[in-house]
Amino acid sequence: LQRHDDAALRTRINAAVEVALPIFTPVRWRLLPPALAAAETARIADIAAHWIEKYERPRPAFVVAEIEWSLPLTLAGLTLNLKLDRVDALDGGGSAIIDYKTGKNSSGDWDSERPKEPQLPLYCATYGGTLAGVLFAEVRRGASRFLGWVDTGQGIKGAKTTELAAQVEAWN
């Protein structure tokens, strides 16, 4: 992200959107008039460009280590296949689990006995590596943000700083 100027980055974003569009339900796109489909394509690219510029580029250095990573979990004889949206290897050590959302989320009760939104704490308790961050990436027009917890020194805008290892131990 850092090595591309704005024009080159926008070219890559536009190309990525074009590659991703066939993944959407074909019926959805077939029903849209061409002008509306073009406007929706541009809107998706604009949201992605804003996210990268305001939230990804300012972060401390990282490498995307996993995308849509399947992680098995067995609870009370039932095996679940968790799917982590993204895991980043952080330059300062450890990993960050990132779950993309288009709606509002809350991490406010993750430290309670029964969190209302346990998805990310469950990922953390199952993840075998050293964690330095657990975040929702809320990506939507006009209201994008990171929300979650990071270890001290990670410097991710919107994330609460905490002793994450101790919290993960409590979730286990």
Cβ atoms of 96 and 150 within 8 Å: the answer is yes
Show the tokens assigned to 49.
């460009």
Closest CA to 68 of 47, 97, 40: 97
**Cα(127)–Cα(41) distance, rounded to whole angstroms?**
35
**Band of residue 118 on the pLDDT scale cut at 50, 70, 90:** confident
pLDDT tens digits along 134-168: 999 999 888 899 988 898 777 788 888 888 888 88
57 φ/ψ angles, rounded to the nearest 5 degrees = -60, -40
**Cα(151)–Cα(162) distance, rounded to whole angstroms?**
5
**Cα(21)–Cα(23) distance, rounded to whole angstroms?**
5
Show the tokens assigned to 110.
């993750």
Mean pLDDT of the chain: 87
pTM score: 0.86
Residue recorded with tokens 């982590």? 84
Report the pLDDT averaged over residues 58-85. 91
Cβ atoms of 165 and 71 within 8 Å: the answer is no
Pick from 26-35, 39-48, 57-66, 67-76: least confident:
26-35
Cβ atoms of 19 and 62 within 8 Å: the answer is no
Q: Is the dihedral of CA 99, 56, 145, 114 positive or negative?
A: positive
